[in-house]
A and B are shown apart, each in its own frame.
Chain A
Amino acid sequence: MKKFYLMLLLVVGMVVLAACSSGDEEASGGSGSEGSSDLDTITAWAWDPAFNIAALEKAKEAYDGDGEYEVNVIENAQDDIIQKLNTGLSSGTTNGMPNIVLIEDYRAQSFLQAYPDAFHPLTDVISSDDFADYKIATTSYDGEQYGLPFDSGVAALYVRTDYLEEAGYTVEDVTNITWQEYIEIGKDVKEATGKNMLTLDPNDLAQVRMMIQTNGSWYVDEDGSTPNLAGNETLEKAFETYKEMMDADIAKIVSDWSQFVGAFNSGDVASVPTGNWITPSVKQAADQSGNWAVVPMPRLDMDGAVNASNLGGSSWYVLNVDGKEQAADFLLNTFGSNPDLYQTLVKDIGALGTYSPAAEGDAYAVEDEFFGGQQLITDLSTWTDEIPGVNYGLHTYAIEDILVTGMQDYLNGAELTTVLENVQGQAEAQLK
């Protein structure tokens, strides 16, 4: 009888032990790949929490479509986004890719051309006519509209009215002028006030880019890949103008953003020709309120050039992965068709969109006391519509790196045609 109990105890004990130890075998497995195949959630990548991330959050609030899905906004540094897209798309895997991604306009074509099937066309989703023409040029490829234009990079000339006054000029005198006229005014301003007219960064040819776009030209041909440098009259004109500015000694040389911002905030320069996104930085110097005005960008002294250009700007793209319909639906019902959202963006974030119907809203008509009561947003969006559309192509930054050195040579006395031929040769060799 005792033996029996002992056996019973052993058996029961073993059963208990076995039951306990068999519990922990789940947990592993699962968790692998979900990402974009999950249709309940779509992800969107952007880089600036104060700007485009904030805009996405506003868009989520403003969404008025029927879709039932969550939008997961993820912040990544711009360089990381480019790197991840490149590695992801070139390896052909859609794993870990977002549904919506924000791409800078200068880089957009390189993605659209390199990975034509990776993006979901929005041609039938959005109405291209509602957006600024120049944006459509940069966001479409091969007849298909891929990007939904986001912020405007419309360039403008921010001027110090007090300095101009000192030199005997009015705001009208700097409105719709050519760069040559600008240089002349600059000389007078420097004479009268001792202040430089503008800042120039030897490593950033933003001025050249803005100049050539006033005449509808770019570093590359219409095909987006052939370098268009040697024999590019617009580029030659821009280089000449640039040299004239240097020769006129009206430029303060800066090497980074802090010096650039510091120059106009401290009152060292009389004007800032750049993208409209500089507005908040200009307004940082509250003591200068009322001393600023914003006028259209100077144009190159050429036939066909207009007083409107662009610097920067970005657009939304939908990747061709599971959930693309939701992503397109989200974009259509927010940035693609909601004028009120653009009012919110202007008011709360200071982001100026390129959606034309939005220009009629109240927020656009607000008068800005800092700029002497100017209806800044209305003006900017008017100029946006006039920006000549160009194909930024694939190699904007790569060509500019070469051009920076060419500019050095040119400024140091080399012949312009030779310089541009050299640059053309280098670019062709490097980008082939």
Chain B
Amino acid sequence: MKMKKKAFLILRNNSLFIKMFLIMVISIVAVSLLITFSSIRMSSNLFMDTFSISNTKALEQIETQFEDYSYAIVGATHEVQNNGTVKRVLTQTNASTLETYRSYHDISQQIERIYRTVESYDANMIVLGNNERLYNVNYSNWPVSWEVLRNHPITEYTVNRPNTLLYQYLPSTSFTDEPMIVATKALMERSTGEIYGVLYFPIREAQLKQFYEGYTSAENEVLLVDATGKIVSSNKQELIGEEATDILAMAKEVDEEQLEFKDAHVFDTDYLLMSQYLPTYNMYLVNLVDKDAVLDNLINTKEILLISLGIVLLAVIVVFIISRRMTNSISRLVKQISTMAKHDFNMPVAETGGYEAKKIANAFNSMLSELQEYVDLVVLAQQKQRSAELMALQHQINPHFIYNTLASIKFMIQQGKKEKATDMIHALISLLQNALSNVEQTITVEQEITDLKNYVLINQSRYGDGIKVNFFISPDCLDCQLPKLILQPFIENAFFHAFNEKKEGFVQILVSQKGDNLLCEIVDTGDGMEMKGDHTKEDIKEKRHLFSGIGIRNVHERIQLLYGEQYGVEITSEIGKGTKVKVELPFQKTDIPANSNKITSI
């Protein structure tokens, strides 16, 4: 669960990076894939085009070879047909041994001479006569007897087409002989139309192959397909003798429509098929180029893919680093900004990372400091306002107090207590003097005590001396500074609220130095009250202010406004025992009033 949450957190924190990185990676991969494949395609198409052109040229050359051979055969055929000796020997019947002997010699001489035209092609030459005569120039090439050859299908085929030079395929019949292509021509007596013999030019497929073998390779095959669709010769041994009518059909198409080449799928491979018709042979010369194999040689697909893979990897790494840097600074910014509230908006964000992030952080920081300035201004203004308010309150002497006091003095004078009335007027005068006329904020402890004593005197005169007030002032605190009328509200409180049940008691006022602080305590032995909360101002019920506008609630506020939060008022109370108020102030000597004097005197 925690893991999951953590993972989610990481994911959320890095979402910008992940998004950016993914998009970049996908684009890089897509672009490089597209470029790779399109360049492979383009170059292979281009290569195939040029390849087909050069192969067409090669085919033409091969065709020339075939034509040369054909021409040699045609020449030899003509010679044999027009040779009287050959005709005589082949038509001779009932000859004596000596005549036969001579005939064999003569025909041998003639044929050997004619044979030289085709000898260079390693072709054999056989002359067959109907009179059981057979002359085989190269017996080992085709060891055939007269009976076999006379009844051979190719002889029959030839005899049925006496005017044509035919090229026929003779498959291998045993493991000792090889497939052959036999050019055959019937020997016909022109005047009578009688066929007296057959002429054969067998050439082994292996020899015929040499016409084109130089142009072939593993991926570049040449086939010779006869009119029935049989492959009669090929550089691929296993194809010889196969039926390939589909190739024949395509070869015809290429030849008839004058195509450069045609894409063909034969033998389970994709080929480029080029074709050339050999009219004298009535065969098609077919060139098959294995696309894949050729391209494998030309374009090292693996290499190209590896290169692009390498580039992609590199790009991804670089993108990773760069985007990581960019998003990292932004993420950090976001994180800092989101926790800004915890730091009261006054902690500037770190200006690190990329240019953009720095700018943003910078702008944010200046905005923040500006804001801070305004906030400070507002706070200051509010403090000033509050302080002015308090000041105003301080200067507000409750008029009832003055009426009541003056009324008490009037009674004293009526009763003839002249001295007492004079004291009271003195006390009132000095009290009012201090409260109203003295504009200084702070006064010495001595003055404050004097004011308090006057206040106590006035109150005791009015309400009797049931409540006794004692002052215990540490002498070194006398010239200490403290805000005006800061203790008066507590004494007033003690007088008017602490002694509702008990009618008599004491109020002790203690001023002493405690560490760096000035500690003033107002302890009464009155009724006490129920305490709740934090022993501060909230617990003291604000009643009407009998002397000035400042209530005890305001005292605490005022102290804090003036000196800071570590100072203030603390009240402890116990029902039946009394209340104890502690006022803590900084221990300040006269120099501050001097300053205040200066300001006020200006």
Contacts and interface: CB of A to CB of B under 8 A. Distances in A.
Q: What 5 A-B pairs are tightest by C-beta distance, nearest first?
A: A202-B105, A258-B145, A253-B100, A202-B104, A257-B139
A201 B104 CA distance: 8
B101 interface: yes
B303 A20 contact: yes
27 contacts: A5-B318, A5-B321, A8-B318, A12-B314, A16-B307, A16-B311, A20-B303, A23-B303, A202-B102, A202-B104, A203-B104, A246-B97, A246-B98, A246-B101, A251-B97, A254-B104, A255-B134, A256-B134, A256-B139, A257-B140, A258-B143, A259-B145, A404-B105, A405-B105, A408-B102, A412-B98, A412-B102
Contacts of A23: 303
B113 to A, nearest CB: 12
Interface in B29-44: none
A13 B102 CA distance: 85
B315 A16 contact: no
B101 A258 contact: no
A2 interface: yes
Contacts of B133: 255
A17 interface: yes
A416 interface: no
B399 interface: no
Contacts of A201: 104
B350 interface: no
A256 B135 contact: yes
Interface in B108-156: 108-109, 133-136, 139-140, 143-146
A350 interface: no
A421 interface: no
Nearest to B126: A256
Interface in A6-60: 8-9, 12-13, 16-17, 20, 23-24
Interface string A399-415: 00000110010011000
Given A16-B307, A412-B102, A2 B322 contact: yes
Contact of A20 (B98, B143, B307): B307
B291 to A, nearest CB: 21
Interface in A179-199: none
Interface residues of B, dominant DSSP: helix
A257 B136 CA distance: 9
A13 B135 CA distance: 74
A251 B104 CA distance: 14
B306 interface: yes
Contacts of B146: 258-259
A9 B134 CA distance: 81
Contacts of A408: 101-102, 105
A10 B139 CA distance: 72
Given A5-B318, A202-B101, A202-B108, 7 more contacts: A9-B314, A23-B303, A202-B104, A251-B97, A253-B97, A258-B144, A412-B102
Contacts of B144: 258
Most chain B C-beta atoms within 10 Å of own C-beta, residue among A8, A20, A404, A412? A20
A262 interface: yes
Interface in B532-551: none
Most chain A C-beta atoms within 10 Å of own C-beta, residue among B101, B143, B144? B101
A404 B314 CA distance: 86
Interface string A231-269: 000000000000000100101011111110010000000
Contact of B314 (A13, A254, A412): A13
Interface string B565-581: 00000000000000000
